[in-house]
Each structure stands twice: as C-alpha cells, then as structure tokens.
Amino acid sequence: MDRVRQRALDCGAVESVVVDARSEFADEFVAPAIAANALYMGKYPLVSALSRPLITRHLVRVARETGAAAIGHGCTGKGNDQVRFEVTAMAIAPDMTVEAPIREWGMNRDGAIAWAEERGIPVPVRRDSPYSIDENLWGRTAECGILEDPWAAPPEEVYERSAALADAPDEVEQVVVAFDRGLPVALDGKELDLARLVAEIDRRAGAHGVGRIDMVEDRLVGIKSREIYECPGALALLTAHRDLEDLCVEQELAQDKRGLEGRYAQLIYNGLWFTPLKRALDSFIAVSQEPVSGEVRMALHKGSAWVAGRRSPHSLYDHDLATYDASDRFDHRQAEGFVKLWGLPTKVWARRQGSL
C-alpha cells in the first residue's frame, strides 16, 4: 500500500489516496460472480473486469470529495479496461470528464518504462521482464513480452500465486467449503468473511498448483490476445459452487441459469456492471440461489481441484429414486409410456421421411 502511494507521489501527484477495498470487492463484486459461475469464454474468472467498477466508484468518490471535475486512468487504447473505467463513470457520474493521457499521447509500454526510468521512479518491470500484471483478491493476470507469442510456453517466472507441478505436494489435500444461499461462508468448519475465505482457499489451492489459465481471449475492442491468469481460489470456489447447484437446483431452472451465466460474464467483461440488465439478472440469480446451501468437499492435487463429495439439507438427490439396488422406488413401468410419447414426434417425422 505504501509503495502504491509513493509511486503516485513520485509521478507528480499532489496527494495520493490509497484504499483497502478487499472486503467491499469480495462482498459486492466477487459474491455475485460466484453466484453466477461467471467465467468469460468459459475460462476467465474476470479478475480485472470485476475490479474496475469498484475502482471507478472510489475515483468518483474522491473526485466529489475534492471538488474535481474529472477523473483519469492510465489505460492504453487497446484494452478492455479503458472501456470499463469510462462506461462505469458514465453510469454513476455522467457529468464527470475522463482523462486518458496514455491513450492520448499514444505512449507504448517501452515508452512508459523509459519515462519512469528517466525520472528514477521504481516500477516492477524491466525491458527483459516486461509483463503487464494486474492483481487482486480474485486472481492475477499477466500479458506482454514472450506471452505475446501464443505458441510460446509461459516461463515459470510469470507465476506467483501457484506452485509449479514439480513443487506441488505429492499428497492430496482436502478442503470443505460451506455455502449459504450460494455464498461461501466457511472453510473446514471455520466461518470466515468472504475476503478472508477467498484469500485462504487461494493460498491452499495455489500451493497445489491449481488455478493456471493460458488462453487466447476475445477483447471487446476486437483484438484476440494471449492471456495468462492465476486464479487458484476462484477456480476452486467456482467448481465447488457449480457442483452444489447441481445437487440443489431444480433442473429446468438450472438449465436456464446456465444459459444466462455466459451472458452475465460477458456483460461484466464488457464494462456493463452498473446497468439495468445486470440488476435484472441478479434478481433471477438470487432466486436460483435460495436452495444453494450445504458443503462441498474439494480435493486439491498437482494442479487439479475436483469435487470429492457434496451434501445439503436442500439436496434434490433422492437415493431411492437413483439407486440400482432393491430399495428402488422409481416406477419402471411409467418409463415405457413416457418414452413412447417423448419419441412420438420423431417417429411421425421418420415415417414421413422414409428410412434415413
């Protein structure tokens, strides 16, 4: 935090305000993302995308408190973040001007590093290790340098929050995640607020090499880019949450929810957090989460996090319906009529077509 404050002052700021927004981030942004199983392109837990609306809200707050008419960001013109900062500002402070000097000056990454070096401003990048890193509670992102070659394997030095498989323990570790209406509330029986819980499972899953994501991503501005993410806690929690939903959510609802999850992830990615569509989807998701309470036992080992068991007071799993042994209560005779009627349209159609 002090380093962040000092860097702003070194860059010429007259005042630097640094905010620890971890709890706010967890409760207002990560929690809905978990409920929505939000993964952009089915892979990316939206680490940066989730943080931008919150950062913008604090920017606007400080601007209001200091009587400023504008806020600013340091994004280039090629990424998603400029869109997220500016569209969020449009939503919550439509009167506010947004300044984007890096985009305006056309400064590239080498130029920015040189600018800092000339002024003796310490930045945690070098020309031979030029990764662009963004990091928060939900994960860590890396771009640039050798990573821009989608065929090149990411060097080990890119990673910080996940162990290399060779260094991960040989033994499987188990962790029990408890949920209350879709929200993770305890680890191994110990209640934790969400920010602490995410940090804790991130550390434990990361030690097993869980959470590395290497993907080619479709940016909103039309570019495909190669991205490296480390999200041990996020992937473990999303895996656990989705599994508990499978146990507790009625199947028609579950199916429609799955359809909306991709849309929800996309709107977060595209900077539309503070919008009517987001609120409407949140209402739908809130109803779906009513039965999602219970426990999921996760196993962590050598880069994998998988579900080893689940239970819930709202479980819809009925052993006597599912079993293949003598206690079976499923009415097999009803299946005959069901299959006949279910297949009837296909049969009528096939008769008309003749044999295929």
Which residue, 88 or 141, is less far from ligand ARG as judged by CB? Answer: 141
Q: Which contacts qualify for 71-77: CB closer than 8 Å, 24 or more apart? A: 71/96, 71/97, 71/98, 71/99, 72/98, 72/99, 72/100, 72/101, 73/98, 73/99, 73/100, 74/100, 74/101, 74/102, 75/100, 75/102, 75/103, 76/102, 76/103, 76/107, 76/108, 77/103, 77/221
Minimum distance from CB of 185 to ligand ARG (Å)?
27
Which residue, 102 or 236, is less far from ligand ARG as judged by CB? Answer: 102
Which residue, 74 or 303, is less far from ligand ARG as judged by CB? Answer: 74
Closest CA to 178 of 240, 233, 235, 236: 240
Closest CA to 246 of 299, 188, 294: 294
Q: DSSP letter for 147, please.
A: G
Instruction: Please return the burial class of 234, using the count of CB atoms within 10 Å of its CB with bins 0-12, 13-18 and 19+.
Output: buried
Which residue, 212 or 310, is less far from ligand ARG as judged by CB? Answer: 212
Binding site for ligand ARG (CB under 6 A): 48-49, 80-81, 132, 134, 141, 143, 217, 227
Which residues, listed in sequence order, are joined to residue 40 by a DSSP beta bridge? 44
Minimum distance from CB of 162 to ligand ARG (Å)?
17
Which residue, 134 or 200, is less far from ligand ARG as judged by CB? Answer: 134
Which residue, 224 or 311, is less far from ligand ARG as judged by CB? Answer: 224
Minimum distance from CB of 137 to ligand ARG (Å)?
15
**351 CB contacts (<8 Å, ≥6 apart)?**
none
Q: DSSP letter for 119, please.
A: T
Which residue, 87 or 300, is less far from ligand ARG as judged by CB? Answer: 87
Q: Which helix (H) or strand (E) segment is 103 a member of?
A: helix 101-105
Minimum distance from CB of 269 to ligand ARG (Å)?
7
Specify the residue for token string 């090629």.
Answer: 78
Minimum distance from CB of 327 to ligand ARG (Å)?
50
Minimum distance from CB of 200 to ligand ARG (Å)?
24
Minimum distance from CB of 141 to ligand ARG (Å)?
4
Instruction: Please return the burial class of 148, using the count of CB atoms within 10 Å of its CB with bins 0-12, 13-18 and 19+.
Output: exposed
Which residue, 137 or 296, is less far from ligand ARG as judged by CB? Answer: 137
Which residue, 134 or 246, is less far from ligand ARG as judged by CB? Answer: 134
Minimum distance from CB of 124 to ligand ARG (Å)?
13
Angstrom CA distances, 252 to 37, 211, 313, 350, stand at 17, 31, 20, 28
Torsions phi, psi for 317 (to 5 deg) = -75, 120
Minimum distance from CB of 55 to ligand ARG (Å)?
11
Residue 331 CB neighbour total at 10 angstroms: 9
Tokens standing for 76? Answer: 């280039």
